[in-house]
Amino acid sequence: MAVDVRTMHLILLGAPGAGKGTQASYLREQWGLVHISTGDILRAEVREGTALGLEAKGYMESGALVPDDLIIRMMEERLGKLGAETGYVLDGFPRTVAQAEALQAMLERIGHTLNAVVNIDVADPELIRRLTGRRVCPNCNAVYHIDTMKPKVDGICDVCGSALIQRKDDQIEAITNRLAVYKSQTQPLIDFYQTRGLLVVIDGTIGVAQVGEKIRTALCGEVN
């Protein structure tokens, strides 16, 4: 794609636990793209007790999708603040075909072009292992794992010293529901974007750095 990497507009797809947030952070650090995570934005709204956060809280804790109209309102406000030359990666949006259609109309209104959609592919057993072992810092949002990314002191955040927690949506009941919801409502996005020639599929089990390199090569070869 003959596009300046710093101005790319990307979407990351993948089931919960596939590594979308990790790769979005990589793209932010390596390319200077703005990382827009609907999950992070919604959790911040819940912590702050905003009207949007109170509306979304019950859906999030049960593992259900937050309704389209709520998410679309939030995203249009966020993207509308960015110029067309500002590159960004969307993490967690869109999650349904209806959201994808709304995003397409939204981008046309604000003069942005979607360059690619990256689907990070990981099988269910590995997703469950990743999610049930994840621990997060409620203060600074740092992420750890009980097997593969342990903090220096068990149960304590390396960054700010807060006690780590397991999010309610990372417990097995919610995970099972999240994966079922993903398969029924989000996976159709793969067909939606494949028919538009935007889809890039990456094996999400090959390691964080290797996944990042595969994404980089698939999108634009060697980054200058």
3-state secondary structure the chain: CCCCHHHCEEEEECCCCCCHHHHHHHHHHHHCCEEEEHHHHHHHHHHHCCHHHHHHHHHHHHCCCCCHHHHHHHHHHHHCCCCCCCCEEEECCCCCHHHHHHHHHHHHHHCCCCCEEEEEECCHHHHHHHHHCEEECCCCCCEEECCCECCCECCECCCCCCECECCHHHCHHHHHHHHHHHHHHHCHHHHHHHCCCCEEEEECCCCHHHHHHHHHHHHHCCCC
* Joined tokens for residue 113: 């072009």
User: Is 178 annotated as catalytic?
Assistant: yes
User: Is 216 annotated as catalytic?
Assistant: no
> Token pair 């990070």 is at which residue?
120
User: Is 47 annotated as catalytic?
Assistant: no
Tell me which of 43, 130, 134, 135 is the catalytic residue: 134
Tell me which of 20, 43, 135, 214 is the catalytic residue: 20
User: Is 196 annotated as catalytic?
Assistant: no
User: Is 183 annotated as catalytic?
Assistant: no
Tell me which of 95, 130, 135, 214 is the catalytic residue: 95
Tell me which of 57, 78, 129, 167 is the catalytic residue: 167
* Joined tokens for residue 124: 């269910």
Catalytic residue ranges: 20, 95, 134, 167, 178
